[in-house]
Amino acid sequence: MKDKIDHTDPAKDVKTERGHGGETHQRASDEGKVLTTQQGVAISDNQNSLKSSERGPTLLEDFVLREKITHFDHERIPERVVHARGSAAHGYFELTESLEEYTTAKILTETGKQTPLFTRFSTVAGNKGSKDTPRDVRGFAVKIYTEEGNWDIVGNNMPIFFIQDAMKFPDFVHAVKPEPDRGFPQAASAHDTLWDFVSLAPETMHNLIWLMSDRALPRSFGMMEGFGIHTFRLINAEGKSTFVRFHWKPVLGVQSLTWDEAVKISGADPDYNRRDLFEKINNGDYPEWEFGVQLFTEEEAAEFPFDHLDATKLIPEEMVPVRTVGKMVLNRNPDNFFAETEQVAFCLSHVPPGIDFSNDPLLQGRLFSYLDTQLKRLGSPNFVQIPINAPKCPFANNQQDGHMQMQVPKTRVLYDPQSLDPARPSESDKKGFKSFPEKLDDGVKGRIRAEGFADHYSQPRMFYRSQSATEQSHIASAFAFELGKVDTPYIRTRMLGHLLNIDEELANRVANALGMELPEPAEAAAPVLDMATSKAVQTIGISPKTLKGRVVGMLIAKGSKHSEIKKFEDAINKQGGTVKIVAPSKEVELDDGTRVQADERLAGGPSVLFDAVVSIIMPDQAKKLAEASAALDWFNDAYAHCKAIAYCGATDEFILSKLPIEKDEFVTPLAELDSFVENAKSRLWEREPKVRDLA
Ligand code: HDE
């Protein structure tokens, strides 16, 4: 809380000026940096276009106006066809344990060095201007500027994908995007076309059940795991290959929103995750992840009860542990959203020597797609020269010309082999990228899927059965919500048939909530296995109890006790939490006469934006607030979202007493500061069945 409100305007000499003719505007003095055209010509008047006379038509001659408007008309580039909405930050990668035994890639063998990187998080289905909190997978794409070339790990916050073969991707995306005839729903999977497609493609079941879980509602980008998903290869100095899957584990742990919160946040702050990332980095609370690898050999893979080349399958951490070998820290916001976050071009094919691909058919299709999509979006093969995309190591080749060529090669020779210019680059057998010389089996060419890809239910079953009771009820409720938005009855029935194969109890819960009869189970192409459960796939179960990264909303009003506010702020800050002040007005006078500025007015700061709430108000103000629905919702929602609430006497007497709020262990008077601080580190999930009708 800022105790001093500074109203000084840096543009001191702002005054209303009379421009040419009748035009008026406010501006600071004429001194300082001069505005110019793109050609560097100083502009004398940036408010009026050139006219033939005072009330006459505008002249075509006005090159200043034409240049300004033309540039404006061309400001947009095509948004990404998927993952259009994204937020990004700069940071660094640091290796803590060398993987020299497995790879020659310096980024994975040289410990202790900080290598710059740029990471972009995204939702998948929504347009660029859509909200941050839909139920959706999140993209997790990292571009590491290694000294041996850029390495792009283009992953998601879930360890598996919806489909097994790239051939199906456009269909899947068309099904989830707004329906083509009506253009809605935006950023939502709850509609007939998505469920029509997935109910006819059982391979989607595993990612679907993750999508219905709390993982699809991240509280913060810094509280999400990231996964490279596919199997890749590491190649060592002897040319030996080891399979690898890449993992990012957030230091703040995995934390999620509830569905009701996510829905309300999308109205209160559509930029919720973007703002959080920006503010955390600005405040020096740098989001951090551990980088881990799951390493396994071809022989070990042969023993897995699934095919590791199938991107709809995860490798349980209990089967192949994730070995932490490095970390990523995001410590700098982009200087310009368009130049960096929008123009960054990730390509799965960007790997340094020592890292190679597997035959995962989804990965193979992606190797084509990303370069192709950047050409469409950025409009030229020279997109690699845009600063955010350019490698930070030296690069030299014979590629020339093209739209927006930024380089001026000073040579006659842009070909190879050549003998005219000894300074020109040539290939290097020693340093160059080499593909692993994999021996391929003598198969028969065809449009085929491997037999081992046929099991679509064992892992979704494992996922569901691994969850806590609270998480299972969230999954069942999410299926019921989404299918409740599906109008075509047989699509819902098909889905119930699939759910029966995953878990009978889950199918029953969803059918009950929909008021439907259970059909026959869907025909399973392979026997459904009862795999060992895995704690690592939980969300709530693995959330840490910490105040770090969490925000407490504090409701104050005129006359609130400064000393009490301070006491709470200190206790929360001491444990790494942040306090945001909410008040009926933007500026507030406290009991000791101090004037403070609220972070949010009550009307714009609902409690869904905070992880726990405190109320410190005087009786006269509490009486007034008891008449305001925004204040009543503030407490009702905090309670319904299982949050810790600390209340003062006036809040209790005039507001809480009007509401159906039970004084459970998470609803405490101000005097119990320590319990509140402890409670604010998590939620009281046991409260949930009392306040919400869960499936
Ligand atoms: Fe993508 N995906 N994808 N995808 N994807 C794109 O590339 C594609 C897939 C992922 O922040 C596009 O630059 C195909 C899996 C992320 O800029 C496009 C297939 C995973 C991002 C594309 C997949 C991802 C993208 C659109 C199936 C997780 C955002 C714009 C074969 C491992 C990167 C762009 C950013 C973006 C194609 C499946 C993750 C069209 C064809 C699986 C994080 O190239």
Per residue in 160-186, pLDDT tens? Answer: 999 999 999 999 999 999 999 999 999
pLDDT tier for residue 25 given thresholds of 50, 70 and 90: confident
From atom 24 of ligand 1, which residue's Cα is the shortest distance away? 155
| C-alpha distances in Å from residue 454, one per residue of 300, 424, 459, 483, 583 | 20, 52, 12, 25, 57
CB atoms within 10 A of CB 644: 24
Q: How far apart (Å, rounded) are the C-alpha atoms in residues 612 and 673?
A: 13
CATH 3.20.20.70 fits 545-691, yes or no: no
Among 542, 460, 454, 541, CA closest to 506: 460
All residues at 6 or more sequence positions from 406 whose CB lies less than 8 Å from its CB, including other chains: 382, 385
Ligand 1 pocket list (CB less than 6 A): 80-83, 86, 120, 122, 139, 141, 154-156, 161, 166, 169, 229, 311, 346, 362, 365-366, 369-370, 373
Q: Which atom of ligand 1 is nearest to the CA of 166?
A: 31
Taking the CA of residue 372 as reference, the ligand 1 atom at the shortest distance is 44
With 0.95 as the threshold, say if the pTM is over it.
yes
pLDDT of residue 442: 81
- Average pLDDT across the chain, whole number: 96
Give the pLDDT score at 29.
57
**Confidence label for 23 from pLDDT (cuts 50, 70 and 90):** confident
CA distance 492 to 494: 5
What gap in Å lies between CA 292 and CA 95, rounded to an integer?
10
Residue 233 has pLDDT above 70, yes or no: yes
Atom of ligand 1 nearest to the CA of 228: 32
The pLDDT, as a whole number, for residue 27 is 65
The active-site residue, picked from 20, 71, 127, 156, is 156
Which of 153, 169, 196 minimizes the C-alpha distance to 289?
153
- Res 28 pLDDT > 80: no
Residue ranges of the domains in the chain?
Answer: 65-385, 545-691
170: left (phi over 0), alpha (psi -120 to 50) or beta: alpha
Distance 82 CA to ligand 1 centre (A): 7
CATH topology classification for 65-385: Catalase HpII,  Chain A, domain 1 (2.40.180)
Catalytic residue among 7, 20, 74, 83: 83
Structure tokens, 330: 């995001």
pLDDT given at position 242: 98
pLDDT digits (tens, 9 = 90+) for 446-500: 999 999 999 999 999 999 999 999 999 999 999 999 999 999 999 999 999 999 9
High-pLDDT (> 70) share of the chain, %: 98
Give yes or no for residue 12 having a pLDDT over 70: no
Q: What pLDDT sits at residue 22?
A: 76
Look up 156 and say whether it is catalytic. yes
Give 244 Cα–ligand 1 centroid separation in angstroms.
20
User: Which atom of ligand 1 lies nearest, measured to the CA of 140?
Assistant: 43
